[in-house]
Structures are given as structure tokens and as C-alpha cells.
């Protein structure tokens, strides 16, 4: 083999090596725009109704409460763990259960037997059903058995006490997931106030779109 042939072979080999090192094109359905398009396509029929819906954009770690395509409130996901991934880029679901150990209870007013016995003009705040009554740990269960566990994280010095409670809740969620071994599941961490607000705002039978990475 002469020097020219060696040089030529070397150049060919170099070109082949460089082309192998460069990234191959991404398939169309894995491009981020494809995920966004899928999300928008699922959102449009929900935006035409007069009800709120919730978008879990776990790809970009945000949750939005929306209506008519308008974001009413947004929550930032501080941390997340996808235990079992979703099969598609985005899926529309209906919330069927908010599972926790204790559901907040409403006060039942017992009308007085005699008129004027109750001074209803003095409004008793402690009986009201408010945001502070909402739980910080809970599971969201959807119609297709998808599950999301919501945990709070506080920067308060006594926030480590929350971590203790969270350990038990995480263990319960782990065993719950075993009952539906093929269904997607994730854990998300929000600030305590956001966790309560999500529980308050996201009502049963409301629609959601889950866009997972």
C-alpha cells in the first residue's frame, strides 16, 4: 500500500468516525415541540368548556390551574420522582380520588330551636372551611389508575418534622403502587401552602393533563 493510499484510507476512516460521533437526528415524536403540540391538542377541548382544568407539566416542573386556556394560578414543583413513566408525552385524565388519612370536614350548622338564639351576625371564623384546613400530604388518583403523591417541603426550622410524617406517607404510597403495577406513578414536592392550595383548587371529577418527561 503506497503513501497516497494510506492517506486516502486515513481520510475516509476519519470521515466515517466523525459522522458516527455527531448526534443522529431526533425522531419527530421525541422533539420537545411534539410534546408541546400534544399538550396543546389535549388542552383545546378542555379550554372550550366553562370549567377549570389542571395541567401537570412535569417536564418543566410546573402545575397550572387553567380555564379557557388562561392560567389562573401556577405552582412550582420543587422536586419530583417518576416512579413509573407515562406511555405518552401527554395524557388527559379525570381526578377520581384525593386519598389521604384525614379528609377535611365541614361544619354542619344546627339551626336553633328558638328564633334569635343564634347570633348569626357574629360570624365564627373558627368554623369556616378554609385553606388552612386542607392537608399537605395526599395522593391524587386518576381514572386510569395513574397516581401522584404530593408532599410538602418547608424551609422552616421545624420542617424536619414534616419529613418524619412524609416517610410514613411515602411508605403507604409505595404499597398502594403495588396494587397497580402497570400504572404510571410519580411523587412531587411543593411548598406547604402550594400543596394545600392544589388540594383546594383541584376538585374531584375535574380534568387534568399530565405531561411527563
CB nearer to another protein: give 145 or 170.
170
Q: How far is Cα 187 from Cα 80, in angstroms, rounded to an integer?
A: 5
Q: Minimum distance from CB of 5 to another protein (Å)? A: 34
CB nearer to another protein: give 180 or 200.
200
Instruction: Catalog residues that contact another protein under the rule CB under 8 A.
Output: 23-26, 28, 30-34, 36-37, 40-41, 43-44, 47-48, 50-52, 59-61, 65, 67-70, 72-73, 79-82, 106-118, 120, 123, 125, 127-131, 160, 163-164, 166-167, 170, 189, 196-197, 200-201, 203, 213
Q: Minimum distance from CB of 103 to another protein (Å)? A: 13
Q: Which helix (H) or strand (E) holds 65?
A: strand 62-67
Q: How far is Cα 201 from Cα 13, in angstroms, rounded to an integer?
A: 61
> In the chain, how long is the greatest CA-to-CA distance?
115
Q: Minimum distance from CB of 185 to another protein (Å)? A: 13
Q: What's the grid cell of residue 108?
A: 354542619
CB nearer to another protein: give 4 or 110.
110
Q: Minimum distance from CB of 141 to another protein (Å)? A: 21
Q: How wide is the angle at C-alpha 185 spanned by C-alphas 138 and 47, nearest 5°?
A: 80
Conformation bin of residue 74: beta by default, left when phi > 0, alpha when psi is -120 to 50? beta
Q: Minimum distance from CB of 12 to another protein (Å)? A: 24
Q: How far is Cα 29 from Cα 37, in angstroms, rounded to an integer?
A: 10
CB nearer to another protein: give 8 or 103.
103
Amino acid at each position: 500500500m503506497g503513501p497516497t493510499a494510506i492517506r486516502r484510507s486515513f481520510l475516509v476512516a476519519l470521515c466515517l468516525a466523525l459522522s458516527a460521533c455527531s448526534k443522529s437526528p431526533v425522531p419527530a415524536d421525541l422533539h420537545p415541540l411534539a410534546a408541546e403540540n400534544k399538550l396543546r391538542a389535549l388542552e383545546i377541548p378542555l379550554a372550550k368548556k366553562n370549567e377549570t382544568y389542571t395541567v401537570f407539566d412535569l417536564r418543566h416542573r410546573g402545575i397550572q390551574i387553567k380555564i379557557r386556556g388562561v392560567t389562573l394560578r401556577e405552582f412550582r414543583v420543587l422536586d419530583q420522582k417518576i416512579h413509573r413513566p407515562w406511555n405518552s408525552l401527554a395524557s388527559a385524565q379525570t381526578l377520581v380520588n384525593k386519598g389521604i388519612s384525614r379528609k377535611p370536614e365541614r361544619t354542619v350548622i344546627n339551626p336553633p330551636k328558638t328564633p334569635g338564639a343564634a347570633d348569626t351576625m357574629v360570624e365564627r371564623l373558627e368554623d369556616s372551611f378554609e385553606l388552612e384546613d386542607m392537608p399537605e400530604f395526599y395522593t391524587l388518583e386518576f381514572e386510569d389508575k395513574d397516581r401522584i403523591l404530593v408532599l410538602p417541603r418547608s424551609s422552616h426550622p421545624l420542617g424536619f418534622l414534616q419529613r418524619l410524617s412524609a416517610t410514613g406517607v411515602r411508605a403507604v404510597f409505595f404499597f398502594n403502587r403495588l396494587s397497580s403495577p402497570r400504572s404510571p406513578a410519580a411523587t412531587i414536592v411543593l411548598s406547604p401552602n402550594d400543596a394545600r392550595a392544589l388540594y383546594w383548587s383541584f376538585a374531584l371529577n375535574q380534568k387534568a393533563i399530565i405531561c411527563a418527561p
